[in-house]
């Protein structure tokens, strides 16, 4: 009788130990999945930050071309900036950051529009002649539209940054 009771106690203890091992394994898998998701999020945000640094450098070159009045170089530098903007949309974002990525992509699209429209406006002014003068009556309106696209793009990028910070905070 004592042997049977002892056997049952050992069986229960073994079952308990196995159960704890299974639960411990599940907890480790959950912790591992959370750690992996955090790692993927950090990797994506690192890519975004690197892309923004590249964009900042390329926009500095664009600004330099504007200050020199060099339309050809402005177009070249704008194209380089477009490449940085476009690379953001090609980066894979983890599922938890898809909405944030879309804010960044939308913001970049607005910046691309502003930059492109600025180059077009400046080129039209630069290529104006006495026989084909620039239409200054549309200048303020066009410049306001460019500024609006730029402001919208910056606001979307900032919203993406805030959403990313809120996700981590």
Domain ranges for the chain, please list them. 39-168
* pLDDT at 59 (0 to 100): 86
- Phi-psi label, residue 21: left if phi above 0, alpha if psi -120 to 50, beta otherwise: alpha
CA separation for the pair 118, 130 (Å, rounded): 22
State yes or no: pLDDT of 33 exceeds 80. Answer: no
| pLDDT band (50, 70, 90) for residue 164 | confident
Residues sharing a CB contact under 8 Å with residue 113, sequence separation 6 or more, in sequence order:
149, 153
What three-state secondary structure class fits 94?
coil
Mean pLDDT computed over 21-32:
52
Q: Which among 54, 99, 106 has a CA at the least distance from the CA of 81?
A: 54
CATH class given for the domain over 39-168: mainly alpha
CA-CA-CA-CA torsion sign (31, 36, 39, 45): negative
| pLDDT band (50, 70, 90) for residue 159 | very high
Query: Are 149 and 110 contacting, i.e. CB atoms less than 8 angstroms apart?
Result: yes
Tens-digit pLDDT profile for residues 44-97: 889 988 988 998 898 899 889 888 989 999 899 999 988 988 888 888 899 889
């Amino acid at each position: 009788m004592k042997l049977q009771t002892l056997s049952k106690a050992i069986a229960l203890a073994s079952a308990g130990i196995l159960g704890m091992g299974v639960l411990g394994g599940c907890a480790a898998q959950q912790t591992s999945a959370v750690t992996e998701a955090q790692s993927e999020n950090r990797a994506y945000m690192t890519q975004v930050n690197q892309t923004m640094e590249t964009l900042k450098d390329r926009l500095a070159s664009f600004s330099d071309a504007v200050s020199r009045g060099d339309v050809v170089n402005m177009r070249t530098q704008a194209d380089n900036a477009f490449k940085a903007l476009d690379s953001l949309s090609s980066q894979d974002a983890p599922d938890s950051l898809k909405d944030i990525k879309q804010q960044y992509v939308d913001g970049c699209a607005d910046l691309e529009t502003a930059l492109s429209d600025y180059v077009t406006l400046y080129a039209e002014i630069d290529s104006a002649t006495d026989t084909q003068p620039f239409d200054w009556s549309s200048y303020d309106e066009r410049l306001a539209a460019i500024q609006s696209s730029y402001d919208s793009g910056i606001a979307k990028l900032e919203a993406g940054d805030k959403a990313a910070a809120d996700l981590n905070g």
